[in-house]
Amino acid sequence: KQEVTQIPAALSVPEGENLVLNCSFTDSAIYNLQWFRQDPGKGLTSLLLIQSSQREQTSGRLNASLDKSSGRSTLYIAASQPGDSATYLCAVKAMDTDKLIFGTGTRLQVFP
C-alpha cells in the first residue's frame, strides 16, 4: 500500500532563505509526482509535475527533484518570500490504482 510522508510538518523562516521540503513514498510504481500549494481556505494549485522518467523540473524559483528508486522527492524554493507562505502538498499517481495519493503536507511560513 502506497504511503506518502512529508517532512517537516511545519517550517517558519525569514524571507530570503533557500528552503528544502521533503516528500517520501513507499512504492516506486508511480506515473508521476505532483507538488501542490494550498493557501488557507483555498483550493490546490499545481506547482510542478515530475514524470516518473524525469529527475527534476523547474518553474521560476521552484525546483523539484525525483529519485524514484529511493522513493524521494524534494521541493527546493529559492530566495523565499512572504508570499510563499502556504501549505505544500506532494502527491504520487499510483500505477496500480490510478489514484493520486497525498502526503500530509508541510505548512510554510515566511516572515519579513
Partner 1 sequence: DTAVSQTPKYLVTQMGNDKSIKCEQNLGHDTMYWYKQDSKKFLKIMFSYNNKELIINETVPNRFSPKSPDKAHLNLHINSLELGDSAVYFCASSQARYRNTEAFFGQGTRLTVV
Chain residues in the site for partner 1 (CB under 8 A) = 31-32, 34, 36, 38, 41-46, 49, 51-52, 87, 89, 91, 93, 95, 97-102, 104-105
CB of 9 to partner 1, least distance (A): 10
- Residue 42 or 55: the one with the smaller Cβ distance to partner 1 is 42
Q: Which is nearer to partner 1, 18 or 109 (CB)?
A: 109
With 0-12 CB in 10 A as exposed, 13-18 as middle and 19+ as buried, what is 5? middle
**Cβ neighbours of residue 56 closer than 8 Å, sequence gap 6 or more:** 50, 63, 64, 65, 66
